[in-house]
Structure 1
Amino acid sequence: MRTTLALESGYWGNVGHGVGAIILYAIVGLALMLVGFYAIDVTTPGPLRKMVAAGNPNAVVVTASGMVSMALIVVLAIYSAGGKLAEGLIASAIYGLVGIVAQVISVRILEWVVGLDIGALLKADQYSVNSLVVAAAHVGIGLVVAFAVL
């Protein structure tokens, strides 16, 4: 018995398009995560990058939650584009930037209302459960923005 493997016409073109889309979305996602990181860094006391590199646990928790929330926004912007590459890339960039602004403002307001000293929290060498409040705010705002995209 002989079996022949036959690929549909245009198969490799579709694979190439998919690989290209992955690369472009990864670039946009990485750029947004870097912009998001620097937005958090600029709006919090102290050099956040150094605190994360030093392993300050609260700085790591807050930064990680910011990155997860940015990823949520990008993922749902991609999903909402319905397979249209150009529209998806543009929507991801726009919604990502709006999400960054919304997160920074919302989290700073929450810290003020709750009375958190974010500078001291991020610089602390010991883990504090208060970092979870800030992390939850990042993820929560990320979810709100992400679902608003849909």
Structure 2
Amino acid sequence: MTTTLALEAGYWHSLGRGVGAIVLYALVGLVLMLIGFAALDATTPGSLRGMVADSLPNSIIVSASGMVSMALIVVLAIFSSGGKLSEGLISTIIFGLVGIIAQVISVRVLEFVLSIDIGAVLKDPEFSMESLVVAAAHFALGLVVAVSIL
């Protein structure tokens, strides 16, 4: 008795398309995350990148929350694309860029309204509860932007 393994017609094409989509979305997501971090760094007093490299806890918390927020936006932009690769990539880029702008402006406004000296908080070598407020703002605004995509 012999067993033959048969694949459906078009299997390799579908597999290749799926792998290609993963690679393209991963690249778009990476670029958006880098742009998002650069936007946070540019709008933060001092070098956020340097503060993270110096292992300052508050800068790490705020940076990490910003990255998670960006990822939420990218994920829901991909999810909303409905499997259409080119449209999904375009909408992911546009929604991601708009989300970055909205998030950076909104967080900075929140810091101002709450009188949080973000420069001092990020440079503090000791953990500050204010960093959690800023981190929560990043996460919450990321959720708002992400869900608005749907």
Under TM normalisation by the shorter chain, which class is it? Answer: over 0.9
Taking the aligned partners of 2:2 and 2:45, their CA distance within structure 1 comes to 69
Taking the aligned partners of 1:115 and 1:2, their CA distance within structure 2 comes to 75
Deviation at 1:3, TM superposition (A): 2.8
Taking the aligned partners of 2:12 and 2:99, their CA distance within structure 1 comes to 36
Deviation at 1:129, TM superposition (A): 1.4
User: For residue 116 of structure 1, what is the aligned residue in structure 2?
Assistant: 116
Taking the aligned partners of 2:5 and 2:21, their CA distance within structure 1 comes to 26
User: Secondary structure at the residue paired with 1:59?
Assistant: helix
Taking the aligned partners of 2:117 and 2:75, their CA distance within structure 1 comes to 32
Matched, 1:18 2:6: no
User: For residue 148 of structure 1, what is the aligned residue in structure 2?
Assistant: 148
CA-atom RMSD in angstroms:
0.7
User: For residue 71 of structure 1, what is the aligned residue in structure 2?
Assistant: 71
Identity of aligned residues (%): 68
User: Secondary structure at the residue paired with 1:126?
Assistant: coil
User: Secondary structure at the residue paired with 1:141?
Assistant: helix
Gaps in structure 2 of 5+ consecutive residues: none
User: For residue 81 of structure 2, what is the aligned residue in structure 1?
Assistant: 81
Taking the aligned partners of 1:142 and 1:117, their CA distance within structure 2 comes to 22
TM-score (norm 2): 0.98
User: Secondary structure at the residue paired with 2:125?
Assistant: coil
Show the 5 A alignment for 1:94-109.
94-109=94-109
Residue 69 of structure 2 aligns with an amino acid whose one-letter code is S
Deviation at 1:2, TM superposition (A): 3.5
